[in-house]
Structure 1
Amino acid sequence: MQKWVMSGLFFVACGLALVLMFTLPGKQQVAEEAKPSMPEVTLDPAAAEATLKASCITCHGDQLQGGAAPALQQVGGQMDTQALFNVISKGRNGMPPFKDQLSPEEIANLALYLSEKK
């Protein structure tokens, strides 16, 4: 009887392994999700400033001087546009992700705007 139980558990484990093997995302899919692609946009400073006022000044300050979050007055000298896009999209170190509140184009415009702050 014990032999039948053990062999049954073995086949269930093998079946579960096969199901997981075909349903879990692959390395390439995980890498693509980890690094969102930035859409091509033309910088619109007025729209970027409006997005900053609506989403960023609470933590980063009205002059981007910092406060509850780091200062962004010279962030363009520390991070490139793609890195800024990734941080704004996914969040980092206590900063929430904005991919659900802002469109990819708004995030890209904001990243372009901030990348000029040097």
Structure 2
Amino acid sequence: MKGRLAALLMGTALILAACGGGEEKDSTSTSGDNATTDTAAANGEKIFTQKCSSCHGQNLEGGVGPDLTTVGSRLSQADIETLINDGRGAMPPGLIEGADVTAVAEWLAAKK
């Protein structure tokens, strides 16, 4: 029984480590519409790096997860948001939540 519990805890720790770290606040402040879009894109990339790159690759090249280098040519921002929220295949739902989903989806949708 102790062995199973230890294995379960070890497996959970590995999964959580692979899914990324905690959230960080962005201390940059910008003004204007382009600045807001640039900040959202920067946040999307930062969130992707923290939460998604362990499976999809640091440069979107794929690995455990599929290649995302041209995902915006196949899926709209709304489709990407749905996929992130609902999961697909081995990707579990809810790895990122709230405004972070929108930021990552917007950033990925621009990858044509």
TM surpasses 0.5: yes
- Please state how far the C-alpha of 1:102 moved relative to its aligned partner: 2.8
Cα pair 2:76 2:109 within 8 Å, conserved: yes
Once residues 97 and 84 of structure 1 are traced to their aligned partners in structure 2, the CA distance between those partners, rounded to angstroms, is 12
CA-based RMSD of the aligned residues comes to 1.3
DSSP 3-state at the match of 2:103: helix
Residue 26 of structure 2 is aligned to residue 54 of structure 1: no
After TM superposition, the runs of 4+ consecutive aligned structure 1 residues lying more than 4 A away are: none
**Identical-pair percentage:** 32
Number of aligned pairs?
75
Once residues 45 and 107 of structure 2 are traced to their aligned partners in structure 1, the CA distance between those partners, rounded to angstroms, is 8
Q: In structure 1, give the amino acid aligned to 2:106.
A: L
DSSP 3-state at the match of 1:107: helix
Query: Larger Rg: 1 or 2?
Result: 1
Once residues 93 and 112 of structure 1 are traced to their aligned partners in structure 2, the CA distance between those partners, rounded to angstroms, is 22
Q: Structure 2: where are the runs of 5+ without partners?
A: 1-35
Q: In structure 2, give the amino acid aligned to 1:78.
A: R
- Please state how far the C-alpha of 1:95 moved relative to its aligned partner: 0.7
Residue 102 of structure 2 is aligned to residue 115 of structure 1: no
Once residues 97 and 55 of structure 1 are traced to their aligned partners in structure 2, the CA distance between those partners, rounded to angstroms, is 13
